[in-house]
Structure 1
Amino acid sequence: MNRVKQIHELGQSIWLDFIDRQLMNTGALQSLIDEDGVRGLTSNPAIFEKAISSSQDYDEDIKRLAGTDHSNEAIFYEVAVTDIQRAADLFAPVYEDKISGADGFVSLEVSPHFALDSEKTIQQARSLWKAVDRPNVMIKIPGTQPCLPAIRQAISEGININVTLLFGLDRYMAVAEAYIAGLEDRLQAGQPIDQLASVASFFISRIDTLVDPMLKERNLSELKGEVAIALAKQAYTSYVQVFASERFKKLADAGAVPQRLLWASTGTKDPAFSDVKYVETLIGPKTVNTVPMDTLNAFRDHGQATLRLTDHDEDAKRVLEQVQQVGIDLSAIAQQLEEEGIQKFNEPYNKLIQAIDQQRSAVTTVLH
């Protein structure tokens, strides 16, 4: 049996962290769904920047829209929405197959410029939700402190949310709280909550990239590559507790489903580690792992699908204690990674808007 499909047998959903038109035009995405059992897709500004600037597949659309009074950002979102709708339609059968669980979602992110602005985030989340107009889309909102109210508000309005850029346990708990509070608001308003879905995207490999050199300095090299996994395991323990609570049970009785944990940034950055490290170690029930194409191909080739997320919980706790003891402040690290993460999305986003502007100028020059 296909190794990637085996992961789904163990209760975890594999989503693809990638989108471009070629993937859909060639039927490659369809075969990932059919053969590998890929059950969803995530995108971000960096992925779209790469798709649009490295191919000619978008030129016609940009040309057509260049003649309108759309802003460059509006042109980008119109192009992105088209792609997201297509992908959502390809995943519709997965979404409609309720027996195998809540999947088939495709994620589109609000502008990273609004990462610290709740009001603009919620406004854009509403307009993208309306524009894509598919029940199996998730709007990505960063899990920053300022955006927590936007997450709660969006859930209360019945918008599926993928909360992105999570690096720490405290913030993860705050996000789970925003989800549950949003469901309660919605239920209180007499609205149905049985169609809503959300994931909390915990970023993995970036944590190790930052922490590992610090471990080396403090003679704790044996913990290299362990901290992110230990944090993920702790987050999963919290997830199980939160969604088994009496408080959530009331919502579950009205049809609500838990907000699943999604492992993001699971491509291996350190060549000293296995290229499937962050897939193999994080397989656990009712979770999602969104993987880059290279990682997916690597796992199909040589990955081992076994349940590991709930193994050695005590070891995970011990790793985190040791790290704190040597003065590595994981809350400060989470904050630094969040700030860098916003930056890492702003740069390609700005580049993307610039690229559209250039294509637009080229077109208008030709027209005149």
Structure 2
Amino acid sequence: MIYFDNSATTKPYKEVLDSFITVSSKFFGNPSSLHSFGGQAEKLLTQAREQTAKLLGVKMSEIYFTSGGTESNNLAIKGAALRNRNKGKHLITSSIEHPSVAKAMEQLEQEGFEITYISVDDTGRVSVDEIERAIRKDTILISIMHVNNEIGTIQPIEEIGQLLIAYPDILFHVDAVQGIGKVPLSFKNNRIDLCSISSHKFHGLKGTGALYIREGVKIDPLFSGGNQERTLRSGTENVAGAVAMAKALRLTMENGKEGIEQLRKIQTLLRDGLNKIEGLKIHTPIQYSAPHILNFSLKGIKSEVFIHALEQEDIFVSTTSACSSKKKSPSKTLLALGVAEELAESAIRISLSFENTEEEARTVIQVIEKTVNQLGKVMKR
């Protein structure tokens, strides 16, 4: 099997699974319990928080465990909006955010908030100048993703952070789910107030994630209950998941520069090979792109047909994002880039991990070329 759908989810490291099983079977106490068994679980949770914070270069008190990227994004955006609605009801985001951001914004619009959607250029990048022009006296939050989950464009987070130094009352949220471990990002140096990550994107387990909340930033909780996670995220903590996520993050970070360089080599190999296939158009930009995502369209071939054809060869890729892939509608991101609807409907996303190889990439190029020729002949009948 060749698995090239790592932006949807990654295969958990064996060490991560081992950690989860060990904690689940031997330290299954509730960390809120007063007895020593609960205290052991609480200690493991604290260690996981400390390790996650250290790897991300932040304080332990700034890490809040969640169920993943969707919850982290919703908690950051809705929590910040509700907490600061007396200061203003204007929020800014981009036109190509992940559904967990876009839908959260739509819900807030129904509650009387105003949202400005920043357009992107033909590479998928927002303009910092346009963001500055959109800022109003009642702007309370700006939410921009780090790496686009469909085409891999890296947004100018550092430049936006520099801009917002002059606007201390505006909170800056970054959805870093797709970039962690593959595109370096300093939370502290980029004036980020809130940042979302998800474990299963870096070889951890589904159902675990974290939200970074800069010290001093106040947001409202979304869940009512037992006041876990310092009142911001009620519900019995997933200790085993948190421990496993910390281990997955450490193993991913240890791959570091070497792993990212290998991703670049594979991505370049794929780009060069795919560029030679007639009727194929690559959407992922060369500049400002993450090393692990490559998005392209096949003229005249529906993406779902192509994906199932590759599946017959034991190759697994995807269409848009996993959260939108079953809707059978054109990619919202590609349409925002100005891509024609016909091409947007035939988009394919290849996404890599440190475990993929150049040999796999060569095989995929050959199979794609063969499949395009076969399907092209069928379509012409």
TM-score, L = length of structure 2: 0.36
Flag the structure with larger Rg.
Answer: 2
**Larger helix share, 1 or 2:** 1
